[in-house]
Structure 1
Amino acid sequence: MAAFTGKVVLITGGARGIGAEVARRLRTRGAHLVLIDVDSLPLRELAAELGGDEYVVAVAADVRDFAAMEIAVAQGIERFGGIDIVVVNAGIASYGSVLAVDPAAFRRVIEVNLVGCFHTVRAALPSVIERRGYVLIVSSVAAYLAMPGMAAYDAAKAGVEHFANALRLEVAHRGVGVGSAHMSWIDTSLVRESFADLPAVARALAELPRPIRKTTSVQTCAARFERGIERRARRINVPAWVGALRWLRPLLQTPFAERANGKTIPIWLPEMDAEVAGLGRSLSARTQALSED
């Protein structure tokens, strides 16, 4: 894929953050877009910004609803003739340790991040196979390194990485490329809301080496995605050092490394759980509101 002119790109979680910035970049390079998000207002605004109906199909849909995803894909195919590229980007996070997180919030994270990934790929895959296209599944550094207090997110992102690995084996002989993206802290609303709601997390991060705690801009992340999609990359790591954790994963999971890295957890994890209890919710206020719509 030397260029995106005339390509049809489906992006979930496309209304804001990384999904929206990738959409902007690919539209500038001539792509037609099928944008899917549960948040309809910013979705409509972005579609208008990017040229409206001529270039963008915007569908307000929940990735947990397979029938809705089938309809969204069908609308894109009807308008533009098919789907060349899928960016499986929709995702949320919950707050609290396993003992403290609201079970409904835990389940919602798994359903959006993991089951929603399957729904998106399953709905779009026949067209992607027909066009010998590419699928990018957005995982996280959490697939390489577990983060306490984020068990649902850790499990879902590790799950989608392995889903991508299995899918790659299934469709390689059909000419379809599959990649997974792994990011550290990106300056999205998800990260900003988490830091604002949970000061204990921000304090814990402040103790880490600067490269690990540094937040990367959405623009920088989207630029890496753009290059990776163009190359049909197997993995995209943002920042680049995240890729080293994939190779270090066996070492990081040894008892010695876990003891060394876990010295401060007994201090800040109870503080975080107390903050979650004070909030009265295990999701950000925005995600909670969307879940109640």
Structure 2
Amino acid sequence: MVSAELLLLDVSTSDGAEYQCVVRNRFAAEHSIRSVLKVFQVPVFSNEPDDMSLLVGQNAKIMCAATGIPPPVIKWSKDGGAAFPAALQHRLFVRPNDDHLYVVNVTIEDQGVYTCHAVNEAGSIQASATLRIFENSFNVTLKDTVVTVNETLLLDCYAGLSHPSQRMEWTLNGEPLFVDGDRVSLKAQGQILAIRKVELSDFGEYACELWAGNDQLARQRATVTIVGLDGIKMEPKTRRKFDFQPSAVLLTLIASIAMLFTAIACCIGFGRIWSSRKLTRTALNKQSIRG
């Protein structure tokens, strides 16, 4: 009686195949029934859901993707259960071949902990993210403003910060605004921007942004134009705008310069013509002498 055993160590996906035992001697060979070895792989997340903050009425897009053998099935739960208020109101859906869970027109009851479950025959894994919903937004509209040099610029972007994670950030021409706490300062938890003794260089597009954690909830912007003591305006589009009319002295000076350049051009042209005629006469005299 002969027996044999095939032992595979550190099995990998490439080991998945059909195996068959063959017994031979000098007279004949005998084959066993074929056995199929399936190699499964426990799911692994390729994209985990992230915490998210939104305002009421916005749309949530929560990502979750995983790989494994066989490909895992993605399932969702909210606060440890299968009840989704958004699903009952037809505001929650998933798309084929899409790694996102969508919640449309979110409400306060949609906030909570969303858990992504990746399941296949080898096992299951899960990852969670918290969705926070806020009701507050800007209570005032940021308006375009014109101020004169040395005056104080005040921009109000009040939003009634309702949670410790919320904050207000300011930018100037798309870049973070430098706040020194002296000439440029923030008040009311950063919701009011004050710039004392305004300078011409303070012109540009100012924006206030409402944030919660790493998420920008809302943004509004306004253009600030600075007027100098000499009447010169500094504004984003034209860069410099002059509001004065040229004086009579300036117009006279421009006319005199133009006449001077005209006279110089005429003298140069006359000199070239005179030189050309002189050369022509010299050539004719030489021909007469030779004749």
User: Normalising by the residue count of structure 1, what TM-score does the alignment of the two structures yield?
Assistant: 0.20
User: Normalising by the residue count of structure 2, what TM-score does the alignment of the two structures yield?
Assistant: 0.20
Decide which structure has the larger Cα Rg and report it.
Answer: 2
Instruction: Answer 1 or 2: which has greater strand percent.
Output: 2
Q: Which structure's relative contact order is higher, taking Cα pairs within 8 Å and 6+ residues apart? A: 1
Instruction: Answer 1 or 2: which has greater helix percent.
Output: 1
